[in-house]
Amino acid sequence: MTSVLLLAGGCGTGAQSSASATDATISLWTRDTQKEFINLVADAWNESHDTKVEVTLVPAADFIQKLATSATSGNAPDVASIDLVYLPYFASTGTLEDITELADDLPYKDSLSPSHRALATYNERTYALPFSGEASVLIYNKSLFKAAGLDPEKPPKNYAEIISAANKISDLGPDIHGFAIAGQCGGCNVFEFTPHVWASGGEVLSEDGSQARFDSQEVTDALTFYRRLYTDGTMPAQSRTDNGTHQPAVFQTGRVGMVPLGAFYTQVLKQDSDVDFGVAPLPGKNGGWSSFAGGDEIAVMKNGENKKGARDFVTWATGEQAQKVLADNSITPVRNDLTDEIYVPLDPRNKLFAEAMEKGRTPYSTVEHQLFNDPNGPWIQMINKAVFGGDIAAAQKEGQEAAQAIIDRAPQGTNARGNR
């Protein structure tokens, strides 16, 4: 019964066995998908500081749950590197330390990624600093472009050109496909599909996040575009059930002409395959382009023990030393005052990623996870049903209703609630 009483009383007090034992260490949690570079960042800090950063990699699929569970007790880490789309949620629940003054004092605050800054703001207070960038682009196989008689230096600039190129590439052989998507991965498709909508002048959420726009004309056009790619037979069969594992793997084998993916993937391509690839912006229906400006932000946890160390570390993480470690590992920096110097020279293709971080957008919602990233949620179900089922109007209607219901049920609306 004592535990029940404790629960009724609110958050646990648990002073014991915290993730950060002493002031000499700073515990940092991040998703396992960051493992390629996060330890290098930690090493860079450890070499130049007396305190030590201890990294814990958490399986990405369970990251929110684990961070949230720990935040309700005294077991939270000092610092967490969080996918920027989840910041409004964590900020709205009072899990993160308000670091508005710290952020405002940064001399380079205006050079930080605009999307990151927007997502870290909740009720005009700042709860995290930008850490790593990740923008979506169209990655294409230059050898297949050549083989199909396309100009590898002139990637497609609108829906019609992509469809035409995908068909020409698919015609090269039964095992060759023009275009691959991850049709059962919500996170992938908010990253890869929404830029088409934005580039065509549409929205998926209203500005304040209070209205879903899944039924807009621009979404219809983009769905019709994907549907056409599928019915023309340019997609591999696995695209329909791919939860994100197949799409990059199959491009790596050199049998797919185009995939919408991000900067992180170019590192994999350079390491593990000999595919000659190019990068291009994700276009709108009749031209123009957009991108999903994603990545991670780094936040001080309210229940962490080593607040001072945490503040020092998040500040340092936006600095030149840390950002250079990212750039060296094909991760887009979040400082546009540095990109020309430390990032773009490493690979000419990086220029597009840097530009996309500036121009890109990110949906702002405290229920982003339920709307978009949930692999069984309304966004990906709409896309899957429309693209592979064919009834686009019905899929949109159903998606819109489900999404709006989630938004309406979200406690207190999106940006209205005061900081607890």
Partner 1 sequence: MITYSFKSPSEAVAAPPTLYPHDPSLEHYRALAGNGGIDVLDNVRNSVVVSLGTTLATLVLSILAGYGFARLRFPGSNVLFFATLVTFMVPFQALVTPLYLLLDEFGLLNSLLGLTLVYTTFQLPFGLFLMRNSFAAVPRSLEEAARIDGCGHLQTLVRVMLPVAVPGVIATGLLAYFTAWNEFFAALIFVNEQERFTLPVTLSVIAAGALGSRNWGVLQAGVTVTIIPCVIIYVLLEKYYVGGLLSTLKK
Partner 2 sequence: MTPPTGLGRGAAPRRTPARAGVRLAGAALTAPALAMIAVFFYVPLVTMLWMTLHDWPLLGERRFVGLRNYRDALDDVAFRNAVLFTFEYTLISTPVLLVLALALALLVRRSGHAARFFQGLYFMPVVIGLAAGSFLWLFLFQSDIGPVSHLADRLGLTSRNTDWFADKTSALLVVIAMVTWKVVGLQMLLLLAGLQAIPAEVEEAARVDGANKWQTLRHITLPLLRPTLALVLVFSVAGSLLAFDQFFIMTSGGPTNSTITAVYEIYRTSFIQFKLGLGATFSALLMIVLVLVSALQLYLLRSSEPGSEP
Q: Which one among 228, 249, 270, 347 touches partner 2, defined by CB under 8 A?
A: 249
Contact status, residue 55 vs residue 39, Cβ threshold 8 Å: yes
Cβ distance 68 to 95 under 8 Å? yes
Nearer residue to partner 2 within complex by CB, 339 or 366: 366
Site for partner 1 in 151-190 (CB under 8 A): 175, 182, 185, 187-188
Helix (H, G, I), strand (E, B), or coil: what is residue 165? helix
- Nearer to partner 2 (CB atom), residue 4 or residue 15: 4
Considering beta carbons, is residue 222 or 250 the nearer one to partner 1?
250
φ/ψ of residue 361, rounded to 5:
-125, 165
Helix ranges, 254-391 (H): 263-272, 307-317, 320-328, 339-342, 350-359, 368, 378-384
Cα 185 from Cα 81, distance rounded (Å): 22
Between residues 62 and 110, which has the closer beta carbon with respect to partner 2? 62
C-alpha to C-alpha distances, 126 to 24, 101, 365, 385, 412, nearest whole angstrom = 26, 8, 15, 38, 20
From residue 356, how far is each of 114, 135, 290, 318, 359 by CA, in Å?
A: 11, 6, 7, 19, 5
- Sites for partner 1 among residues 54-113 (CB under 8 A): 54-62, 65-66, 69-70, 73-75, 77
Choose the stretch contacting partner 1; rule: CB under 8 A; options: 147-155, 206-214, 268-276, 299-307.
268-276
The correct pick among 93, 164, 243, 329 for binding partner 1 (CB under 8 A) is 243
> Cβ of residue 335: shortest distance to partner 2, in angstroms?
31
Interface region with partner 1, contact rule CB under 8 A, candidates 265-273, 356-364, 381-389, 395-403: 265-273
Q: Which stretch binds partner 1 (CB under 8 A): 111-119, 217-225, 252-260, 381-389?
A: 252-260
Cα distance between residue 384 and residue 223, in whole Å:
10
Pairing of strands 125-126, 79-83: unpaired
Burial of 267 (0-12, 13-18, 19+ CB in 10 A): middle
188 vs 314, which CB is nearer to partner 1? 188
| String of contacts with partner 1 for each residue 27-56, x by CB under 8 A | ----xxx-xx-xx--x-----------xxx
268 binds partner 2 per the rule CB under 8 A: no
Binding interface with partner 2 (CB under 8 A): 1, 3-4, 7-8, 10, 62, 64-65, 68-69, 71-72, 90, 92-95, 184, 236-238, 240-241, 243, 246, 249-250, 369-370, 374-377, 381, 384-385, 388-389, 406, 411, 420
